[in-house]
Amino acid sequence: MMDIHQILTLLPHRYPILLVDRVLEIETGKRIKALKNVTINEPFFMGHFPKHPVMPGVLMIEAMAQAAALLSFSTLGVAPDDKTVYYFAGFDGARF
């Protein structure tokens, strides 16, 4: 498990782009189960299918990329430093 304070030490993202609030489970090298608390007050809901709010797919993918980074750091036993930049390079077969 990982709380928001631990996440903030590993990811450079901050509000409104930080899309992982908590890690519920990590199976090192295999899988991660993370949580993002979403409310109707999120700014993207006002314009993304008004009257039928849907979290945009690109934000869902970003949340998965952030969770994947946390899984990678856990698996490799490393933490990023201020001199290192990590980029999300691709996502195959995304469907919504």
What confidence score (pLDDT) does residue 26 get? 97
Measured CA to CA, the distance from residue 76 to residue 92 in angstroms comes to 23
Q: Give residue 88's pLDDT band: very low, low, confident or very high (50, 70, 90).
A: confident
Residue 83 has pLDDT above 90, yes or no: no
CATH code for 4-76?
3.10.129.10
Residue 87 has pLDDT above 90, yes or no: no
Domain limits, the chain:
4-76
What confidence score (pLDDT) does residue 60 get? 95
Query: For a pLDDT cut of 90, what percent of the chain falls above it?
Result: 77
Q: Write the pLDDT tens digit of every residue in 25-67.
A: 999 999 999 999 999 999 899 999 989 999 999 999 999 999 9
For residue 23, the surrounding DSSP H or E stretch is strand 22-27
Q: Give residue 86's pLDDT band: very low, low, confident or very high (50, 70, 90).
A: confident
What confidence score (pLDDT) does residue 54 get? 92
The residues annotated with a catalytic role in the active site are 48
